[in-house]
Amino acid sequence: MLDFLVTNLPIIICVLAGIVLLVIEMFTPGFGVGGISGIICLGASVVILWTRTGALAGLGLLIVNIALITIVISITLRSASSGRLSNSPLILNAVERPEDGYLASNDLSGYIGKKGRTQTALRPSGIADFDGARLNVVSDGTFILPGVDVVVENAEGSRVVVRELG
């Protein structure tokens, strides 16, 4: 048994390092150095075994590597969502709720039906003034010149749709 481990130590190290690097890549933002290095380590383990013992053993290790990656990543993701890892500082658990003052965008539905004047040309987006409030608006698909009276037809979140009066 000890002879087997010593003979195959580079392969075992490459497989373990590759899996660890792929798991680290899941939780670190950035360029992907961990993921690329992990894939290279796993590929090196297959190549080393392939050159030592043949194609069948190399393909077998490739299948084992894919199975190990699948199992380890699924266990890690399950732990990150509801297990011990979900309480670690690696996982963002903060929630931004509207009752705490966090808003994704301003609700501009109060402007529906209001009349205003375009400040810039709407092709189809631009700026219009509604009683001193300058809003980014979009036309209903038509080109509207600056200085033209418009009315708000629809407002969804921060998207305000206007049409030309007249």
- For 106-127, the pLDDT digits (tens) are 778 889 999 999 999 999 999 9
Q: Which residues of the chain have pLDDT under 70?
A: 103-105
The CA distance from 37 to 91, in Å, is 23
Q: In the prediction, which pLDDT does 103 show?
A: 66
**Which residues, in sequence order, are CB contacts of 24 under 8 Å at separation 6+?**
34, 38
Q: In the prediction, which pLDDT does 11 show?
A: 94
Q: In the prediction, which pLDDT does 104 show?
A: 63
Q: In the prediction, which pLDDT does 22 show?
A: 92
The CA distance from 58 to 16, in Å, is 16
Task: Look up residue 144 and give its DSSP letter.
Answer: B
Q: In the prediction, which pLDDT does 105 show?
A: 65
Report yes or no on whether pTM surpasses 0.85.
no
Q: Which residues pair with 116 in a beta bridge?
A: 150
